[in-house]
């Protein structure tokens, strides 16, 4: 699917876009089906996360009870010092780092370097799993302190509802990403994409582009976290 014949020289810039869209066969030239599908899926998913965040902001305004202070709720006492948002800062650092390792995996994927690609993907998955693990720790801590979806000791019940809903939905995305990273890393390591081995379900030949498509998803999940971090924890 990525063996493309370049038949005509296309103009650049806006004229190029117009030419592509008025041409036949493909609107996005040189974009494979899989990559196009992932981009459009992410657009749809953006609407889901966007609407979750908008809804959270709406209930934060509609509730008449004071909103708990995030920098106190999300503080850890390490030694004698109470450090606000320390756990979230570490989690954010880990997730952003995993985007870096993912980008490197994509790079080595296109160089057809099986081992490095697989190792970097597994490292990304490990960082992602660490993130989910720390999220589990955060959830446990809050639950022990009495935070529930329907209420908490410090104020508006919508705090707990929005927290579990939004971080839970994002954590699910990360977990699904970790699972697929592991699956694809295994395929890379086994040499499926060098030997064009056919998929178990789809019976189609795979290729290294799937690493990049996986990367799109992973970067998206990281980007969403930045917004959750800003709008939920910092506000």
> Does 21 engage in binding with another protein (CB under 8 A)?
yes
Q: How far is CA 215 from CA 28, 162, 178, 203, 220, in A?
A: 19, 28, 11, 23, 8
- Shortest reach from residue 172's CB to another protein, in Å: 11
Report residue 211 as tokens: 């690493």
* Cα–Cα dist 201/184, whole Å: 14
* Nearest to another protein of 36, 89 (CB atom): 36
Mark the segment that binds another protein (CB under 8 A) among 5-13, 116-124, 138-146, 209-217.
5-13
Report residue 87 as tokens: 């756990």
- Shortest reach from residue 11's CB to another protein, in Å: 15
Task: Assign residue 206 a region (left: φ > 0; alpha: ψ between -120 and 50; beta: otherwise).
Answer: beta
Binding mask 155-194 toward another protein (x if CB under 8 A, else -) reads -xxx-xx---x---x-------------------------
Report residue 75 as tokens: 């503080």
Among 17, 36, 94, 126, binds another protein (CB under 8 A): 36
209-230: string of b/e by CB count within 10 Å (b at 16+)?
bbbbbbbbbbbbbbebbeebbe
- Shortest reach from residue 173's CB to another protein, in Å: 14
- Shortest reach from residue 152's CB to another protein, in Å: 12
* Cα–Cα dist 215/211, whole Å: 6
> Does 52 engage in binding with another protein (CB under 8 A)?
yes
Q: How far is CA 86 from CA 3, 31, 34, 133, 223, in A?
A: 48, 41, 38, 15, 20
| 151: DSSP letter | B
> Does 77 engage in binding with another protein (CB under 8 A)?
no
Bridge partners, residue 151, by sequence: 148
> Does 48 engage in binding with another protein (CB under 8 A)?
yes
> Does 41 engage in binding with another protein (CB under 8 A)?
yes
> Does 29 engage in binding with another protein (CB under 8 A)?
yes
* Nearest to another protein of 32, 135 (CB atom): 32
Q: Confirm if 222 and 96 have CB atoms less than 8 A apart.
A: yes
Among 11, 16, 18, 28, binds another protein (CB under 8 A): 28
What are the residues binding another protein (CB under 8 A)?
1, 3-5, 7-8, 21-29, 31-34, 36-37, 40-41, 43-45, 47-48, 51-52, 55, 58-59, 62-65, 149-150, 156-158, 160-161, 165, 169, 201-205
């Amino acid at each position: 699917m990525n063996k493309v014949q370049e038949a005509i020289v296309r103009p650049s810039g806006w004229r190029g876009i117009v030419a592509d869209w008025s041409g036949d066969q493909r609107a996005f030239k040189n974009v494979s089906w899989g990559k196009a599908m992932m981009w459009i899926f992410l657009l749809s998913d953006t609407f889901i996360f966007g609407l979750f965040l908008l809804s959270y902001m709406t209930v934060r305004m509609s509730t008449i009870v004071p909103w708990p202070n995030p920098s106190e709720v999300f503080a850890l006492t390490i030694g004698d010092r109470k450090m606000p948002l320390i756990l979230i800062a570490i989690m954010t650092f880990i997730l952003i780092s995993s985007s870096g390792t993912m980008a490197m995996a994509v790079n080595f994927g296109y160089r057809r370097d099986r081992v490095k690609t697989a190792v970097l993907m597994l490292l990304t998955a490990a960082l992602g799993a660490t993130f989910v693990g720390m999220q589990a720790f955060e959830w446990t801590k809050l639950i022990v302190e009495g935070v529930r979806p329907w209420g908490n000791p410090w104020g508006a019940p919508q705090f707990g509802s929005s927290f579990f809903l939004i971080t839970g939905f994002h954590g699910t995305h990360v977990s699904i990403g970790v699972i697929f990273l592991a699956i694809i890393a295994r395929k890379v390591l086994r040499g499926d994409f060098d030997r064009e081995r056919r998929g178990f379900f789809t019976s189609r030949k795979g290729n290294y582009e799937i690493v990049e498509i996986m990367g799109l998803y992973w970067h998206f999940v990281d980007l969403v976290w930045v917004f959750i971090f800003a709008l939920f924890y910092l506000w």
